[in-house]
Amino acid sequence: MSQRPRIVFLIAIAPPERIKDWHLACANFKQTLSSIFNSTDGNYCVVVAGHQAPAFQLPQDPRFKFLSLDHPLPSLEDGRWIAAVKDKMIKLAAAWDYAKSTWNPQYVMRLDWDDLVSSKLVAWLISAKDEAGFRIKYGWIWRSRLPRLIQQTECFDRASGSCLIIRSDLADKTGPFLHTCDGMKFDKVSQQVEASDPYGLVPGAGTGTLLLNDTTNRAEAQFAYLGHRLAIVPFKAAVYRLGHGNNASGRHNRIQTMRMLLGCIRRTRPVTSSLRKEFMLG
């Protein structure tokens, strides 16, 4: 690339033996890549890391790199969720190392391999002030079983891990950022704090980098610990896709109360042609 990219998208893909439907996962991932390459501004790059390349032709573009990794899969002893997180972080670390040494991007965003980004996001970031980071508060939830409907949310960053844009000079800063979802073993007091406060730091948390942890809901506290603030992306910038059966966690798949159901109905909209074009919704 002739210039320093404004942003790199890092994507880790799960190994086929750890997901239910590899064919469907690849189809969803193809959409994810399409949403990135649909950006109205081309000042970005993409690094994908996985044990196995997906079952389709990857982009033949100088802004794209697929890293084939062969590290042993984390043990399932502590549960599938923690094993999936550990595997994802190994892959994201490799992708980030490649991006830094090859392109030195200004910002970095982790993107789950089944989520989608707005075609407007890169262009907006280029015009935005150089903040320490941005969180995607506004977005969409798209349930695979209802493909013609989509739900708007003002809590996107509480639901999806595809919600943070971090300035590259801060991505490797460390702090007490690792929690039980990252495989940390907490004593009873720390467990209680973690359960009662889903957004703050927890006493006894492990040391990790700002980029490589699975507690994006605690990002504001993490940035504050480093002496920075998170700005907000002021529009619906991403789609969190769920309900397709390959999500690592089913925690957001179920509507638990009548109040939640009514809220979902109130926020549901038809998938319009403009939304399909902006996010490459299939």
Predicted structure pTM score: 0.93
pLDDT at 250: 43
Gap between the Cα atoms of 13 and 27, Å rounded = 12
Question: How many structural domains compose the chain?
Answer: 1
> Within the chain, what is the greatest distance between any pair of CA atoms?
54
Please indicate, yes or no, if residue 174 is contained in any of the structural domains.
yes
Please indicate, yes or no, if residue 2 is contained in any of the structural domains.
no
Low-confidence ranges of the chain (pLDDT < 50): 249-253, 255
pLDDT at 252: 47
> What range does the domain containing 136 cover?
7-279
Across the strands, what pairs with 141?
151, 240
pLDDT at 259: 72
CATH code assigned at 116 = 3.90.550
18: nearest Cα among 68, 88, 66, 69:
88
Please indicate, yes or no, if residue 42 is contained in any of the structural domains.
yes
Please indicate, yes or no, if residue 1 is contained in any of the structural domains.
no
Please indicate, yes or no, if residue 171 is contained in any of the structural domains.
yes
Gap between the Cα atoms of 211 and 9, Å rounded = 12
Please indicate, yes or no, if residue 82 is contained in any of the structural domains.
yes
Instruction: Please report where in the chains the tokens 């940035």 appear, as a residue.
Output: 223
Alpha helices in the chain (DSSP H): 22-37, 80-102, 121-127, 156-159, 188-196, 219-225, 258-266, 273-279
